[in-house]
Every structure is written in C-alpha cells, then in structure tokens.
C-alpha cells in the first residue's frame, strides 16, 4: 500500500470509509454523498459538487461531467481495497498549462464535515423562517415558552411598591395583671405631689400677680435679694416634688428620645442657675427672674406623667379581666378587622412610643441647641456675657411648650377611661395608630344581625319531607358559615334532621350556594339566584328576604326569614358615619346586602360591598389571629365601632395637639430670641411669658378633650 502523502486531495473523502473495512456493512446499506445531500438538501450542495468536479489533470477534467459524481460515490469495502492501491501507486503527470489557466487545487472535505455544514445551514434557514413568522405573545400567554425565550425579562410598568416595615417579633412580655399593678403604683406616686406642686407654684404666682395689678406686697416689692432667694427655694422644692419629670426625661434620653420632660427640666435648671447669677454676679442686667414659668412647666410635666400612667393602668385593668378575651381588633391592608382574641403582643404595643414622642425626638433637640445659640448671640455676641443664663432661661421658658407632655397622655387617658366602661382596651397610641390608618372597618353579617335578630316566619314545602329539606338546608348553611347557620341549626334540632356530607360545595356571586348530596344537586339562596339557575318559582311568591332550596333544579322548600334591626347596631352605624369610617360588608348571607341595610336601618350609611371572592377573604380573616391592637370583651358591633372610632379620634388628637404645641415652641423660641437680643426684658415679664404659654394650651386642651367624646 502506498504512503499517505501520495494520496490525492479529494481521496480524503473516502477516509471515513476506511473505518468500515472489515465490518458487516452490506453494499445495500451504504449511501452516497449525493443521496445524503438529496435527503437533507441545503444551499451548499451545488458548491460541494463544483469543488469535487474540479479538473484532476489540467484541462482534461472539464470534459468529464460525470467523473465528480463517480469520485464522490462511496464504494463498498471490497472495492475500496482494489481501487485505492492503483490510485496511490503513481503520481499524476504535470501538463504544461499556464498558471493563470489552472484552477485552484481542491480542498479536502470529509463526509462528516460536509454533512454537518449542510445540516447546520438547513437548521439556520428553518429557525430564521420560524422567527420571522412567530406571533408575539403577551405577558399572560399560556403558551409554553421555549428555553431561549426565558432569558427575556418583562419589566413592570412602574416602580415596585415599597414593602411595609415588618413587625418585630413578639418577645417576652410582662403579664397583664402584673403590668396593671405596676402602672397603678406609678399613677399613685405621680398623682400624689400634684396638689402640693400646684400650691407651691401659687406661692410664687400670687405676689407677682399682685404687683402686676398695682398692689404693693410687703417684704417683697423692691427687695431683689428676697425675691431671688424665694424664687430659688420654690424652684428647688418644685424640682423635688416633680422629680419624676427629671427621671422620665433622662431615662428616655438613654433610649435616644429627647422628650418635652427633658426640655422642661433643663428650663428649671437654667432658671435656678440664673437665680445664683443674680445673687453673685453684680454685672447681670436688672431683669426679673423666670422661675415662675419654669415652676409651671414642671407642674405640667408632672401632670403629663400622671395621665400617662393612668392611661396604662386603665388599659391593663380592662385587658387583665379575661386571660382569653373573645375578640381582638387587628389591622389589615383594607382596614380594621375583628378576630378571635389573643393576648401576646398587646403589652408590647402598649409600651411602644407614640407619634408625639417621635416628633419631639426629631424637633426638640434642634430647639434646645437653638436656645443655646440664641442665648449666646444675645449676650456674648453683644458684649453682655453675664446675661447668658438670663437669656437662656427666658428662651427655654418660652420654647418649652406646656402642653407637649399632655399631647399624647391626656387623650390616651380619656379614651382608656371611656373604653373601660364598654369592656374594651386599645394598645396605647401605637395600637390606635395602626387601627385608624385606614378609614375603613370590616363588618360581617353576624355583626350587623347578631343572634336573636334573625328569625324564621315559616316554611313551605314543595313535594319533599321536612327532615330531608331541613337536613339539606342546615348542611349548606353550616358549610357557608353565614348568619343563617344558627337559624338552621335550631330548626335541625326541632325537626329531628341530621347533617349530610357535601361534595363540590361552591359559592355564587348571584347570592347562593350549591353542593352535591347523595348524588343530588342542591341549591340554597335567594329568589334571583334560583331564577338564574333555571329553577322555576311559583308566580305569586314574593319574599324579599326568603331563602329557597332546590333539589335537582326543582324547588323543594321556601324559608321565610325575618331580619330585625338592633338599636345598638343602628347607633354603631351612626357612630361610624360621624367619624367618616366606611364599613366593608364582608357578608356570606345572600340576603345581607346594601339594599337590606338601607331598608332596615335609619341611617344612610355608605357601605363598601366588594366582590364575592373579596368578601370571603375578608370574612376568613376572623380566624387569622393577627397582632392584637385592641381587645374586645363584649359581643356586638357597638364595642367594635367604639374602639375603632375612638382610636381614630385619639390619633387625630395626638397629631394635631403635638403639631400645635411644637409650633408654639418654635414661635416662643424665635420671639424670645428677638426680644432678648434687643434687651427688651420689660416686654418679657414672667407673667406675660406665662400667659403666652398658657394661650397655646387652649386649642391643644380642647383637641385632647374631644378624644373621649364621640
């Protein structure tokens, strides 16, 4: 056999056939390249044939058109051994043909490469044709996506909504009865010094008020040293009596909350230091002391601490009455919702900071730093360094709003006292804020028509026995868990029926239920539902609140149901309307709809009546047992409505009162800075400054008082 290098270039086409030598491949099983190309087709078939038919010996090749096909045909293994040796044994002779006439030498192409390229071209053409005619699919198309299309990501039409902050997990909590005892002790301790502190403040107020009225007070009028000593003594006594203000102010500061109690305490300290400056620093200006506003500020701070502890005591006292309260009020995305009761989490929400504390922590540090800067500009900036404490005490007395300690404590105490009479408790300002952030409340048919208000006026049968009809109706009513369940249960006991097993139970938007019982199709619902389900009804039958039962599309019974409105429910609906709270009617009873409410109740309340799926979802929230924002120890819609409405009024009062108090604090700081900078201390007498602070308390006091009146 000849060497490999003596092969012609196109002889490489038969290299793949050498591998089949010695095998059992029959000649009938071999395929030629032309047959392979004819089977797969392709755009490169003509190109391969032209290269294969290139001239082997100069100009003699073009005259043999069939030589290329003969050379490219695949011989059998026996013919391969006979034909390869002569082809390789001698070299072709070169002919003296010019180089420009000679065609390029043929490239060696193997069968595997030729078939691979051909098949690849065919696949590319098919994919391009499919891609051009492929229909566009929508985002919600059910057609299965091919793998390469899964790389395309559909961008949302807008920015994704920000997720709400998750609630922290419930940690170890103090028992409610223990918390109630601790709050009761703290309330008694903070309430006890209020009378003494008020009397001490009057000792300092009386002589100054007499002087302002034009009277002369013996031993007081004109004696600056005596006035200073008495003012300092009264301030020290007030600091001792109202020491809880200092305790709360510095304790909240350790939790990174700068509260109004700390600002009032610093005002008292600045006024006490100013008294020492007036005694020992002769260069101080001859201006009155601002001890009286500081004393009144401590009194209001102590009052705020007392009201805060009173609110906690009343809340824990109500919550500790039952270790497993029947209901709780939690917050959903749509509004407040009543669920079965659960205690864990109530203590944690009650102890959370209120909105007022967050607002104070954001603004009061700025006011405190501004008071120091303003005092320095009005004294050191004008060459009166000895008046720094005088200016600082005046600015702090004007900027420390008296109602800030009461902005959240007073309305919380009033609401807790009001709800205690109705057997309800709200988890502080934080729980009330969660409940009232949505102006809606989820009510069910059992809330609107409690037990005793739904009665049966009669039953009319149509060819069926009473036990069977009652059993079928009670089974469907129990499965639906609607307000008719108790009515049918009583009827089931009286008629001696039994509950049946249901198959394929379903709700209908038209107002009814369906199920299969012992192979029979049973329907229960209103008259309109029966007509839409092709059930024939008697022509003279006119029941607006009737319940119809059909078996296999034949009317079986009619139950005349009567809904009697309750006075408490009517009053609760009026309460919700006055407070602009919209009820979401999540009823399962097909008869309970907005039309029935308009006929039965006097108030014209607007009810949100969602679709059937939403109503079912809202009504199922009663078993979700969310975080307790409030506890209900009484049945009915009235305690539920009072809790939600009171929480809304509490949140509004806290926000409005805090905003007004902070506005008065900023206004007092700016006004006092202007007057102290001018040195007009006669316009900033202690009584005038106290009257200015008390005037800001009037609107805040009225707002806080309205939290318990609704």
Q: What is the pLDDT of residue 232?
A: 94
Q: Which residue has the tokens 């408790």?
A: 425
Partners of 523 in beta bridges: 514, 550
How many domains does the chain contain in total?
Answer: 3
**CA neighbor of 457 nearest in space, from 430, 419, 487:** 487
Looking up tokens 């001859």, which residue turns up? 286
Cα-based angle 228, 295, 283 (whole degrees, multiple of 5):
30
> Which DSSP state fits 547?
E
CA dist 292 to 202, 242, 274, 283, 632, Å?
9, 15, 13, 23, 45
What share of residues in the chain are helix, strand, coil (percent, to 5)?
Answer: 55, 10, 35
Q: Are 297 and 303 in contact (CB under 8 A)?
A: no
Is the pLDDT confidence value at 148 over 70? Answer: no
pTM over 0.75: no
Provide mean pLDDT across the span 443-464: 88
Alpha-carbon dihedral angle through residues 200, 202, 204, 209, given to the nearest 10 degrees: 180
Across 490-499, 592-601, 616-625, least confident range? 616-625
pLDDT value, residue 344? 84
For residue 507, give the 3-state DSSP assignment.
strand
pLDDT band per the 50, 70, 90 thresholds, residue 94? very low
pLDDT the model gives residue 58: 41
Average pLDDT over residues 661-669: 94
- Taking the C-alpha atoms of residue 447 and residue 337, their distance in angstroms, rounded to an integer, is 12
pLDDT at position 306 is: 95
Mean pLDDT for the stretch of residues 657-668: 94
Q: Which of 238, 224, 241, 211 is nearest to 277 (CA)?
A: 224
Q: Over pLDDT 70: what percentage of the chain?
A: 75
Domain coverage including residue 111: 4-123
- Looking at the predicted structure, is the pLDDT value of residue 302 above 50? yes
- Residue 138: its pLDDT value, please? 39
User: Considering the domain boundaries, does residue 86 fall inside one?
Assistant: yes
pLDDT of residue 258: 94
Tokens 């044939």 locate to 49
Q: What is the pLDDT of residue 79?
A: 41
Residue 323 pLDDT: 77
CA distance 165 to 624: 20
Q: Residue 704: inside a domain, yes or no?
A: yes
The residue from 522, 547, 563 where one domain ends is: 563
Verify that 458 and 546 share a domain, yes or no.
Answer: yes
Residues 401 and 503 grouped into a single domain: no
In 176-290, alpha helices (H): 176-191, 194-212, 224-241, 243-254, 260-280
331 and 382, same domain (yes or no): yes
Rounded average pLDDT over 143-147: 37
Instruction: Specify the pLDDT at position 647.
Output: 93
Question: What is the pLDDT confidence band of residue 33, given thresholds at 50, 70 and 90?
Answer: low
> Are 275 and 394 within one domain?
yes
3-state secondary structure of 362: helix
Q: Helix or strand or coil: residue 455?
A: strand
Q: Strand, helix or coil at 562?
A: strand
pLDDT digits (tens, 9 = 90+) for 566-612: 889 999 999 999 889 999 998 888 889 888 888 888 767 788 888 88
**CB–CB of 524/507 below 8 Å?**
no
Q: Domain check: are 328 and 420 in the same one?
A: yes
Tokens 């939403």: give the residue.
614
Task: Report CA-CA distances (Å) from 595 to 328, 526, 699.
Answer: 29, 14, 42
pLDDT score, position 654:
94
Residues 332 and 374 in one domain: yes
Predicted local distance difference test score (pLDDT) of residue 14: 42
Number of neighbours of residue 245 by Cβ within 10 angstroms: 29
Q: How far apart are CA 573 and CA 570, in angstroms?
A: 5
Task: Name 224's Cβ contacts closer than 8 Å, sequence gap at least 6.
Answer: 278, 286
State yes or no: pLDDT of 100 exceeds 60.
no
Of 519, 543, 563, the domain-final residue: 563
Which among 317, 301, 325, 374 has a CA at the least distance from the CA of 350?
A: 317
pLDDT at 423 over 60: yes
pLDDT at 7 over 70: no
Q: What is the mean pLDDT of residues 311-315?
A: 94
CB distance 443 to 586 below 8 Å: yes
* Between residues 301 and 45, the one the model is more confident about: 301
Question: Is 412 domain-assigned?
Answer: yes
Query: In whole angstroms, what is the distance from residue 342 CA to residue 453 CA?
Result: 28
- Whether 567 and 538 have beta carbons less than 8 Å apart is answered as no
Mean pLDDT of the chain: 79
Cα 392 to the center of its chain, rounded Å? 45
Q: Are residues 363 and 244 in the same domain?
A: yes
Domain boundary among 563, 589, 623: 563
pLDDT of residue 116 exceeding 90: no
What is the pairing mode between strands 440-443 and 582-585?
parallel
| Kind and range of the H or E run holding 632 | strand 630-632
CATH code of the domain covering residue 471: 3.40.1110.10
Q: Reply yes or no on whether the pLDDT at 10 is more than 50.
A: no
User: pLDDT tens-digit profile of 518-533?
Assistant: 889 999 999 888 988 8
pLDDT, tens only, 221-262: 888 889 999 999 999 999 999 999 999 999 999 999 999 999
Q: What is the per-residue pLDDT for 648? A: 93
Please check whether residue 543 lies inside any domain of the structure: yes
pLDDT tops 50 at residue 74: no
Tell me whether residue 288 is in a domain. Answer: yes
Distance separating alpha carbons of residues 404 and 265, to the nearest angstrom: 13
User: What pLDDT band is residue 332 in, cutting at 50, 70 and 90?
Assistant: confident
Q: Is 373 inside a domain boundary?
A: yes
pLDDT of residue 185 exceeding 90, the answer is yes
| DSSP for residue 114 | H
Q: What does residue 330 show for φ and ψ, rounded to 5 degrees?
A: -120, 175
Distance of alpha carbon 31 from alpha carbon 15, whole angstroms: 15
Asked if residue 75 has pLDDT above 60, the reply is: no
pLDDT value at position 47? 52
What confidence tier does 2 reach under pLDDT thresholds 50, 70, 90?
Answer: very low
Contact 336, 441 (CB under 8 A): yes
pLDDT tens, residue by residue, 371-422: 999 999 988 888 888 889 999 999 999 999 899 999 999 999 999 999 998 8
Confidence (pLDDT) at 88 = 36
Chain length of the chain = 710
In a domain, 662, yes or no: yes
**3-state SS assignment for residue 554:** strand
Residues 182 and 330 in one domain: yes
Query: Is the confidence at residue 512, as pLDDT, over 80?
Result: yes
- Summarize the confidence of residues 165-189 as an average pLDDT: 82
Q: Are 523 and 529 in contact (CB under 8 A)?
A: yes
Q: How confident is the model at residue 499 (pLDDT cuts 50, 70, 90)?
A: confident
d(CA 470, CA 489) in angstroms, rounded, equals 9
- The answer on 497 and 423 residing in a single domain is no
Q: Between the CA of residue 94 and those of 8, 102, 105, 310, what are the distances in Å?
A: 14, 11, 13, 120
Q: Residue for token digits 């102290």?
A: 676
Closest C-alpha among 411, 257, 431 to residue 349: 431
Is residue 187 in some structural domain? yes
pLDDT, tens digit (0-9, with 9 covering 90-100), for 684-707: 899 999 999 999 998 888 888 778
Tokens representing 84?
């390869």
Q: Are residues 516 and 415 in the same domain?
A: no
Q: Give the separation between CA 265 and CA 250, rounded to whole angstroms.
A: 9
Q: What is the mean pLDDT of residues 420-445?
A: 90
Identify the CA nearest to 16 among candidates 694, 25, 399: 25
Lookup result for tokens 């009378």:
195
In a shared domain, residues 282 and 210? yes
Question: Are residues 463 and 401 part of one domain?
Answer: no
């Amino acid at each position: 056999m000849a060497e490999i290098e003596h092969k012609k270039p196109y002889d490489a086409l038969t290299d793949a056939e050498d591998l089949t030598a010695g095998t059992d491949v029959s000649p009938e099983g071999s395929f030629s390249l032309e047959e392979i190309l004819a089977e797969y087709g392709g755009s490169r078939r003509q190109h391969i044939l032209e290269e294969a038919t290139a001239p082997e010996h100069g100009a003699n090749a073009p005259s043999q058109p069939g030589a290329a096909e003969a050379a490219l045909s695949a011989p059998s293994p026996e013919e391969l051994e006979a034909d390869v040796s002569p082809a390789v044994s001698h070299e072709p002779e070169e002919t003296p043909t010019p180089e420009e006439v000679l065609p390029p030498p043929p490239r060696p192409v193997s069968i595997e490469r030729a078939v691979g390229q051909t098949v690849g071209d065919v696949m590319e053409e098919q994919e391009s044709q499919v891609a051009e005619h492929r229909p566009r699919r929508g985002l919600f198309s059910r057609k299965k996506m091919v793998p390469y299309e899964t790389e395309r990501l559909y961008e949302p039409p807008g920015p994704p909504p920000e997720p709400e902050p998750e609630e922290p997990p419930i940690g170890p909590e103090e028992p409610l009865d223990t918390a109630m005892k601790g709050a009761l002790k703290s309330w008694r301790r903070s309430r006890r010094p209020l009378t003494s502190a008020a009397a001490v403040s009057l000792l300092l107020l009386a002589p100054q008020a007499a002087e302002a009225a034009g009277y002369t007070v013996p031993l007081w009028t004109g004696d600056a040293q005596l006035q200073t000593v008495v003012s300092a003594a009264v301030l020290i006594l007030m600091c001792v009596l109202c020491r809880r203000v200092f305790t709360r102010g510095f304790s909240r500061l350790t939790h990174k909350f700068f509260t109004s109690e700390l600002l009032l305490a610093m005002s008292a300290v600045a006024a006490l230091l100013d008294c020492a400056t007036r005694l020992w620093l002769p260069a101080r200006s001859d201006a009155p002391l601002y001890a009286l506003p500081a004393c009144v500020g401590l009194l209001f701070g102590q009052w705020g601490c007392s009201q805060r502890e009173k609110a906690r005591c009343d809340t824990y006292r109500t919550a500790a009455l039952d270790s497993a309260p029947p209901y709780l009020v939690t917050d959903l995305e749509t509004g407040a919702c009543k669920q079965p009761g659960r205690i864990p989490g109530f203590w944690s929400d009650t102890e959370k900071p209120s909105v007022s504390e967050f607002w104070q922590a954001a603004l009061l540090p700025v006011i405190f730093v501004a008071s120091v800067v303003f005092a320095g500009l009005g004294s050191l900036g004008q060459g009166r360094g000895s008046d720094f404490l005088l200016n600082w005490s005046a600015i702090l007395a004007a900027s420390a709003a008296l109602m800030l300690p009461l902005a959240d404590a007073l309305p919380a105490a009033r609401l807790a006292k009001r709800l205690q009479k109705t057997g309800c408790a709200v988890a502080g300002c934080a729980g009330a804020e969660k409940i009232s952030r949505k102006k809606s409340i989820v009510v069910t048919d059992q809330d609107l028509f409690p037990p005793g208000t739904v009665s049966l006026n009669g039953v009319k049968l149509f060819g069926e026995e009473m036990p069977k009809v009652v059993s079928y109706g009670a089974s469907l009513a129990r499965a639906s868990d609607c307000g008719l369940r108790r009515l049918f249960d009583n009827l089931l006991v009286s008629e001696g029926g039994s509950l049946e097993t249901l198959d394929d139970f379903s709700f209908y938007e038209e107002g009814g239920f369906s199920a299969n019982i012992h192979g029979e199709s049973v329907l229960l619902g209103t008259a309109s539902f029966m007509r839409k389900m092709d059930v024939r009804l008697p022509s003279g039958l006119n029941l607006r609140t009737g319940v119809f039962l059909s078996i296999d599309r034949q009317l079986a019974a009619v139950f005349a149901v009567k809904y009697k409105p309750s006075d408490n429910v009517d009053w609760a609906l009026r309460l919700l309307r006055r407070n602009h709270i919209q009820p979401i009617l999540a009823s399962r009873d097909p008869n309970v709809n907005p039309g029935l409410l308009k006929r039965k109740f006097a108030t014209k309340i607007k009810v949100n009546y969602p679709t059937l799926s939403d109503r079912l979802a809202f009504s199922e929230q009663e078993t979700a047992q969310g975080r307790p924002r409030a506890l209900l120890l009484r049945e009915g819609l009235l305690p539920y409505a009072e809790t939600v409405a009171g929480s809304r009024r509490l949140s509004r009062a806290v926000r409005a009162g805090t905003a007004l108090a902070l506005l008065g604090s900023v206004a007092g700081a700016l006004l006092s800075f202007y007057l102290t900078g001018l040195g007009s201390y006669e316009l900033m007498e202690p009584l005038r400054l106290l009257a200015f602070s008390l005037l800001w308390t009037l609107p805040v006091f009225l707002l806080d008082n309205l939290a318990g009146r609704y």
